Amino acid sequence: MARWILCFFCTIAAAQEFDIKIAGGRIVDGAGNPWFLGDVGIKGDSIVYVGPSTTKAARAVLDARGKVVTPGFIDTHSHGRRGVFEVPSAENQIRQGVTTILEGPDGSSPYPIGAYLARFSKVPATTNFGLLVGQGTIRQNVVGLTNRKATGEEIERMKGMVRQAMRDGAFGLSTGLTYLPGTFTPIEEVIELAKVAGALGGVYTSHMRDEAAKIEDSVKELIRIGEEGRLPAQITHHKIIGGRNWGKSAATLALVEAARRRGVDVTIDQYPYTASSTGLSVLIPKWALEGGQKAFQERAGAAEARTRMKAEIVTNLKEDRGSGDLRNVVFASCVQDRTLAGKSLRDLTGSDDFEKAAEHVVKLQEAGGCSCIYHAIGEDDVVRILKYPWTMVASDGGIPVFGHDVPHPRNYGTFARVLGRYVREKNVLELEDAIRRMTSLPAVRFGIQDRGLLRPGMKADIGVFDAATVIDKAEFGNPHQYAEGFLHVLVNGTPVLVNGKMQAARPGRALYGPAAVRP
Q: Name every residue whose Cβ is closer than 8 Å to that of residue 89 and which is 6 or more positions away in sequence.
A: 126, 502, 506
Asked if residue 460 lies in contact with residue 71, where contact means CB atoms within 8 angstroms, the answer is no
Q: Is 118 exposed, middle or buried (0-12, 13-18, 19+ CB in 10 A)?
A: middle
Phi, psi of 310 (to 5 degrees): -65, -40
- Reported for 475-478, long-range contacts at CB under 8 A and 24+ positions apart, including other chains, are 475/409, 476/275, 476/330, 476/373, 476/375, 476/408, 476/409, 477/342, 477/406
Task: Per-residue pLDDT tens, the chain, 519 aa: give them.
Answer: 333 334 444 444 444 589 999 999 999 999 999 999 999 999 999 999 999 999 999 999 999 999 999 999 999 999 999 999 999 999 999 999 999 999 999 999 999 999 999 999 998 999 999 999 999 999 999 999 999 999 999 999 999 999 999 999 999 999 999 999 999 999 999 999 999 999 999 999 999 999 999 999 999 999 999 999 999 999 999 999 999 999 999 999 999 999 999 999 999 999 999 999 999 999 999 999 999 999 999 999 999 999 999 999 999 999 999 999 999 999 999 988 999 999 999 999 999 999 999 999 999 999 999 999 999 999 999 999 999 999 999 999 999 999 999 999 999 999 999 999 999 999 999 999 999 999 999 999 999 999 999 999 999 999 999 999 999 999 999 999 999 999 999 999 999 999 999 999 999 999 999 999 976
**CATH number assigned to the domain with residue range 73-276+376-450, chosen from the 4 options 3.30.230.10, 3.30.420.40, 3.40.50.300, 3.20.20.140:** 3.20.20.140
**CA pseudo-torsion sign 393, 398, 400, 404:** negative
What is the length of the chain? Answer: 519
Q: Map residue 200 onto helix, strand or coil.
A: coil
Cα Rg of the chain, angstroms: 23
Asked if residue 344 lies in contact with residue 406, where contact means CB atoms within 8 angstroms, the answer is no
Domain ranges for the chain, please list them. 73-276+376-450, 280-374
Q: Map residue 309 onto helix, strand or coil.
A: helix
Claim: this prediction has a pTM higher than 0.85: yes
Integer Cα distance of 232 and 74 in angstroms? 18
CA dihedral 28, 29, 32, 35 (to 10 degrees): -40
Strand partners, 510: 129
